Amino acid sequence: MDVLDDILDTLDLRGTLYFRTDFSAPWSVTVPKYQQAARFHLVIQGQCHVGFEDGESTILNPGDLILIPRGNLHILSDSPCQKAPDLETVLNALNYDGKGVLVAGDGDPDAATQMICGHFTFRQGADHPILRALPDYLITRAGDRALEPELDDILRLTTRRMFGGAPGSSAAVTRLSEIMFIELIRFGLARNEKLSSVMAAFSDKHIGNALSLIHERPEEAWTVQRLALEVGMSRSRFADRFGELVGTGPMSYLTDWRLQKALSALSEAGHSVQQIALESGYQSSAAFTRAFTTKFGIPPTEYRRNTQ
């Protein structure tokens, strides 16, 4: 099976468009922290300064895109600044209803900063070594994408659809942004050692097979010894190699993944907690409830009420 597909489907990756901007200097906005989300900003025209709470900053030029995987607070502005009005205040002041272009300032439109801004959301409680391995922010420069034609094509098509204004453009951009997230992960492999290691696990002859087994049959009574035998490795070598690539042990990965599958099932109608417990590899509802509550801080029944 395609393990990455299973991961993103289970974590419930969804693309959401904020808006496209036409900001004339001076302008600035504080984008608040947003849990379970990865924000992105793609500069089409002009320049954008991005500042973070720890004092780090960067500049985006036309064609540059920044992905902020954990939705950390950041400031967007035409020039470096320490404080800026929050996003909600800016939207209210401009009477923006979420449709069309967000326009701020009354300067020369040809000199304005135009961006496409959006985010990717994940299910409440979503977690995986891939998400943990992502850096605080990942930038793709226009020039860097010469060797990544697929990503460049997606960004170009996203821009055309967003600025074209044809019926269905917003829906198309939303779907394209989800593909963009996957391609951005691939793009970041050569630029982030931790992310590269996790992704290498999927293609590793032995560890990749073990991950496929876990994802195909998470309910099975796997042990380190059984998985090692299945993929043709000694127990100790398998455990060491798995931890080296994935960043966590085989049993910890299995336990966490079972609970992620349970989160997904709880968000859907038609599955009892007892059924979900069995499908998640637990022998009883009580054992499942204890594990779930320990991991997420609330029992599965309460999680279901909060998400439906």
Phi, psi of 113 (to 5 degrees): -90, 120
For the chain, give the percent of residues with pLDDT over 70: 95
**C-alpha–C-alpha distance, residues 65 and 24, integer Å:** 19
pLDDT at 206: 97
Based on the fold, state whether residues 118 and 237 are members of the same structural domain. no
Boundary (domain end) residue, out of 138, 160, 192: 192
**C-alpha–C-alpha distance, residues 80 and 50, integer Å:** 8
Q: Which tops the pLDDT comparison, 58 or 175?
A: 58
What does the mean pLDDT of the chain come to? Answer: 88
Sole residue written with tokens 């299973």: 6
Q: What is the mean pLDDT of residues 48-74?
A: 93
Question: How far is residue 250 from each of residues 100, 225, 230, 255, measured CA to CA in Å?
Answer: 48, 10, 13, 9
Radius of gyration of the chain (CA): 22
Phi, psi of 228 (to 5 degrees): -60, -45
Sole residue written with tokens 């924000």: 39
Question: Which of 48-57, 132-141, 174-183, 244-253 has the weakest average pLDDT?
Answer: 174-183
Based on the fold, state whether residues 282 and 230 are members of the same structural domain. yes
E strand residue ranges, the chain: 14-23, 28-31, 37-45, 48-52, 57-60, 65-68, 74-77, 101-104, 114-121, 138-140
Q: Is residue 199 part of a domain?
A: no
Q: What is the mean pLDDT of residues 209-228?
A: 96
Beta-strand relationship, 65-68 and 74-77: unpaired
For the chain, give the percent of residues with pLDDT over 90: 48
Based on the fold, state whether residues 51 and 132 are members of the same structural domain. yes
pLDDT at 130: 92
pLDDT in tens, 29-41: 999 998 778 899 9
pLDDT band at 139 (very low <50, low <70, confident <90, very high): very high
pLDDT at 150: 83
Beta-strand relationship, 48-52 and 57-60: antiparallel
Beta-strand relationship, 14-23 and 101-104: parallel
Sole residue written with tokens 């590269």: 196
Based on the fold, state whether residues 216 and 261 are members of the same structural domain. yes
Sole residue written with tokens 């954990």: 70
Beta-strand relationship, 37-45 and 114-121: antiparallel
Boundary (domain end) residue, out of 137, 171, 192: 192
pLDDT at 222: 95
Based on the fold, state whether residues 116 and 258 are members of the same structural domain. no
Q: What is the pTM of this model?
A: 0.84
First-to-final CA distance of the chain:
29
Based on the fold, state whether residues 266 and 130 are members of the same structural domain. no
Sole residue written with tokens 């608040």: 32
Q: Is residue 197 part of a domain?
A: no
Based on the fold, state whether residues 9 and 135 are members of the same structural domain. yes
3-state helix, strand, coil in the chain (%, to 5): 50, 20, 30
Among 279, 269, 267, CA closest to 303: 267
Based on the fold, state whether residues 101 and 172 are members of the same structural domain. yes
Is the per-residue pLDDT at 294 higher than 90?
yes
pLDDT at 36: 79
pLDDT band at 77 (very low <50, low <70, confident <90, very high): very high
Q: Residue 238: which domain range? A: 204-307
Based on the fold, state whether residues 34 and 177 are members of the same structural domain. yes
pLDDT at 192: 83
pLDDT at 253: 97
Based on the fold, state whether residues 27 and 170 are members of the same structural domain. yes
**C-alpha–C-alpha distance, residues 116 and 137, integer Å:** 17
Q: What is the mean pLDDT of residues 135-148?
A: 85
pLDDT at 163: 73
| Residues with Cβ within 8 Å of residue 52, at least 6 apart in sequence | 72, 73, 74, 75, 136, 137
- When divided into structural domains, the chain yields a total of 2
pLDDT at 65: 92
pLDDT at 50: 97
pLDDT at 14: 86
pLDDT in tens, 79-93: 999 899 998 898 888
Based on the fold, state whether residues 226 and 288 are members of the same structural domain. yes
